[in-house]
Amino acid sequence: MTQSSTALVTGANKGIGFHIARLLAARGVTVYLGSRDPARGAAAASEMSGKVSVVPLDVLDAGSIAAAAEQIGELDILVNNAGIIADGGAPPDSTVDAFRRTYETNVFGVLAVTNALLPALRRSPHPRIVNISSSTGSLAGSAERPGSGGSGAAYRSSKAALNALTLFYAQALPTFRVNAMAPGLRRTDLNERARTADGDPAEAAEGAVRLALLPDDGPTGGFHSWDGTTVPW
């Protein structure tokens, strides 16, 4: 990748997405900071150095996605960072609505944004897609921890679906580098547990930036931890 590269980071006005955008800009990448709230996006961009532009982007709104794709035009790197936890319950205690709201952002939103930006990414000589997943989306890891009681089923299963989607995009786009990353528990406002976590979101962002700037012979279709190790599917 070169310093002339252009990136879009969704949900980048706070948390891990903020640091991904900040670190990419610091490395000379032109960054489009995706934010549902343009004012919050502008406030976040003001804390960054380099070339950073705010793009109003709601991953649940087809019109917003289309407008963002038109504004961006050219793109080398897409980081699908926006995600939510709508319900922390096990399946018997959850609802269809909670699952639907979670999947709308964590899976369907990724599909919608990625497909809208594919024409621009296909024009790039070095297209990269990074999907921010979670180690809780590892089916192998979940099977090894039955003591969880199936809690967080909506979120965890949505990340498992995102991992599958990552693999399928990599298979469909062999000239791209498409990977998923588990950031670890970080201090963000994702939920109450994350709000009190010790993990630095900037540390996780470094891992995402590494995947965003992979060389052309780098891995694709993988599920990676923030530290570069492989996470089991």
Which of 3.20.20.80, 3.40.640.10, 3.40.50.1860, 3.40.50.720 is the CATH number of 6-225?
3.40.50.720
Sign of the alpha-carbon dihedral angle for 169, 170, 176, 180: positive
Residues written for the chain: 233
CA distance 126 to 212: 10
| pTM of structure | 0.94
Sheet holding 177-182, edge to edge: 52-56, 30-35, 6-9, 77-80, 128-132, 177-182, 222-225
Give average pLDDT by consecutive 10-residue segment, the chain, 233 residues.
Answer: 83 97 98 97 97 98 98 97 91 96 98 98 98 95 86 96 98 98 74 67 94 98 97 96
Which of 136, 9, 6, 130 minimizes the C-alpha distance to 74?
A: 6
- The secondary structure of 99-117 as a DSSP string is HHHHHIIIIIHHHHHHHHH
Sign of the alpha-carbon dihedral angle for 20, 204, 163, 84: negative
Distance (Å) of CA 157 to CA 88, 138, 153, 191: 12, 9, 6, 17
Measured from the Cβ of residue 33, the count of other Cβ atoms closer than 10 Å reads 30
Per-residue confidence (pLDDT) for residue 195, from 0 to 100: 62
The secondary structure element, H or E, covering residue 80 is strand 77-80
Helix ranges (H only) for the chain are 15-26, 38-45, 62-72, 96-103, 109-122, 139-143, 153-172, 192-195, 201-212
Per-residue confidence (pLDDT) for residue 13, from 0 to 100: 96
Whether the Cβ atoms of residue 108 and residue 156 lie closer than 8 Å to each other: no
Q: Strand 30-35 relative to strand 128-132: parallel, antiparallel, unpaired?
A: unpaired
Q: Is 169 an annotated catalytic residue?
A: no
